[in-house]
Amino acid sequence: MILRILAIAGLYAAALPLFAAGQARASNCIIAEDKKSISIVTDNSSDEQKNCNVNCRVDTVHGVFGIRCGGQAPPKSKAHEMCNFDKPEPFYNKVELAEGTCN
């Protein structure tokens, strides 16, 4: 019985990333295809302007870095770019974590 529960739990855990991948993120960090820049974006579904903060953990050619950005998101905005960081050479490998809040 315990093995059956663990097997079901394992199938559920394996399906979670697929479900989460289909969900829209309110805040995100987007690496350009050339890996030279990263954009920090957020959504604001409210009818009012919101103050937003976004934190990203990014793997780079020099290790993992935290990037933080804050600012105003206009009402009803989608993928509003709050910050953009550029490097002369490929630098950003992948986003490990992106989370944000808007108040």
Task: Give the pLDDT confidence of 4-23 residue by residue, as tens digits.
Answer: 443 444 434 444 343 333 33
The DSSP 8-state label assigned to residue 25 in this structure reads P
What is the model's pTM? 0.72
**Residues 56-94 pLDDT 10s:** 999 999 999 999 999 999 999 999 999 999 999 999 999
What is residue 14's predicted lDDT score, i.e. its pLDDT? 42
Phi/psi region, residue 14 (left: phi>0; alpha: psi -120 to 50; beta: rest), is: alpha
Tell me the percentage of the chain whose pLDDT exceeds 70.
Answer: 76
How far apart, in whole angstroms, are the C-alpha atoms of residue 62 and residue 32? 18
- Walk across the sheet containing 63-73 and list its strands: 63-73, 50-60, 92-102
What is residue 26's predicted lDDT score, i.e. its pLDDT? 79
- Do residues 30 and 82 make contact, with C-beta atoms less than 8 angstroms apart? no
Q: Where are the domains of the chain?
A: 25-102
The DSSP 8-state label assigned to residue 24 in this structure reads P
